Copies of this chain bind each other. A is one copy, B any other.
Amino acid sequence: MTAPTVERELLPFLEAAVSETPVEEIETFPAVNTSAEQAVKRLVIINWSGELDRMWPTLIMSTAAAASGYRTSVFITFWGLLPFVKDQKRIVGETWMQRMLSLMQRPGISHLKLSKMNFAGMGPWMIGKLSKQYNVAQPPELLEAAQAMGVEFIPCQMTMEMFGLKREDMIDGLGEPAGAATVLELMTEPNTASLFI
């Protein structure tokens, strides 16, 4: 259970996110773990909000967890499903109402807004500038890293139906759509931390 090549390549990139963990520690961690099955740690995030400032903790926590050898699942639901629509999609949905909703709340990981101080886009621009300047990884890169490192993104079936989203509207690599009972199972596994973000 050594880290596959793709993860090793991503590690320097993730050092900003998990800067206080020395790389050697990450690499030796799984070896310690295999002895006792129940020692595997898990992180479950319910990613409910689709805002830039909340996508950050979701993506940083989940990539950091995967980098530390945790089994990591992110349930993407309600507004939090929209950033996982393909970036180039402008209007999605089947009914006029669904299409209008997607028009008001543009989907895709590159079109995120702040939960406050949005100031017609100036807030996200400033936060984006600052975060780049200080080497904080951006949401599209973090999402790519998370997927490469094995973070499981589970779309909420009910939300997909309500927003009229089909599998082909969503980015590649997502898990099977599921519901609340599946997430509850995951959240109550031993050594599991769960967060609603």
Contacts and interface: CB of A to CB of B under 8 A. Distances in A.
Contacts of A68: 181, 184-185
A187 to B, nearest CB: 4
A162 B44 CA distance: 26
Contact of A18 (B44, B61, B180, B191): B180
Contact of A197 (B53, B185, B190, B196): B196
Contacts of A192: 188, 193
Contact of A188 (B133, B163, B188, B193): B193
A50 to B, nearest CB: 9
B98 A130 contact: yes
Interface stretch (A4-12, A84-92, A99-107, A145-153): A99-107
Oligomer: number of copies:
3
Interface residues of A, number: 66
A46 interface: yes
B178 A20 contact: yes
Contacts of A129: 97
Interface core residue of A48, A104, A130 (most chain B CB under 10 Å): A130
A17 B101 CA distance: 22
A20 B179 contact: yes
Given A130-B163, A188-B193, 12 more contacts: A19-B157, A20-B157, A20-B182, A56-B78, A65-B184, A68-B185, A70-B188, A100-B126, A105-B117, A131-B162, A134-B161, A192-B193
- Please list the 3 inter-chain residue pairs (A to B) with the smallest Cβ-Cβ separation, ordered nearest first: A64-B180, A187-B193, A195-B196
